[in-house]
Structure 1
Amino acid sequence: MAYVGISGPSAADAAEVADAVEVARWAAAHGHVVLSGGLSGVMAAAADGAAQAGGVSVGLLPGSTREGAAAGLTVAIPTGLGEMRNALLVRASDVLVCVGGSWGTLSELALAVRTGVPVVALRTWLPRGEGVRVPGRVLEVGSAAEVCEVLGDHLSRSTP
């Protein structure tokens, strides 16, 4: 069993929501725990996908109460840390999947890169420009199906 972090915007579009549901459903169906920031958008979609597969989803909430937690979560943990909870999400994840882009998602991606957590990136923001190098542990893919394929390969080779 691995802990699969799913990161993405709270103001997600329909494609991002569908992709997050598919990835979380796959992760839960394969016995993995789904982690997210626990709120709306991609985070709620991840909780819903895990629930659809009968799996476990954990939301690390920014506030000091469970207010606003995604309905599909199995466990909602109020951290009282605001955006600093992003570091908890990354550190608790064996792999981080970034679906779509937002500043919070970018911060989680950056923290994952800095701490060595592998990242699978699906239509997310990545640093670009002269002198910017995205390390090999960030893998860009084009679909939720590819995310699931990469996760299956990675998680079968690693022992979290």
Structure 2
Amino acid sequence: MLDSDVEYAGFWSRVGASLIDTVIVLTATYPLLWLVYRGDWDRIFATGLSEQPQMLWMDIFINYVLPFAYTVAVWLLWSASPGKILMGMKIVDAQTGKDINLKQSIIRYIGYFPAMMVFMIGIFWIAFDKRKQGWHDKMANTVVIRSSE
């Protein structure tokens, strides 16, 4: 069981961590898309203005599969994303306070989708929840805490 003196990470600090993580993922994916589409920005951003067709499976791999694999891997490796590490946070099991497992990591990642579907209510939920859990945290039984490590 988590100690009563644990400090849950709040909404705005988690937003900051997410922005850092977004920059990291975009820094990795955009050069890959640049190589695949040979610098055709209309294809990279899927504007529909390019003369060349999109490569659907490559888009899915670079834009969805790689970020999923990267995120789950860093959560398992460090119990946090780079943004959370820089902001002094850690993702732990809500009951035990121990590192999260593969199942929780996958559920947590997939849980972002319903959490963001309707005006991001499941994300804003963090600001009002007593344990600062978003819907994705509740689904995976995780919490984000302040870490001294």
Normalising to structure 2: TM-score of the pair?
A: 0.23
Higher strand share: 1
Q: Which has the higher contact order (CA 8 A, sep 6+)?
A: 2
Higher helix share: 2
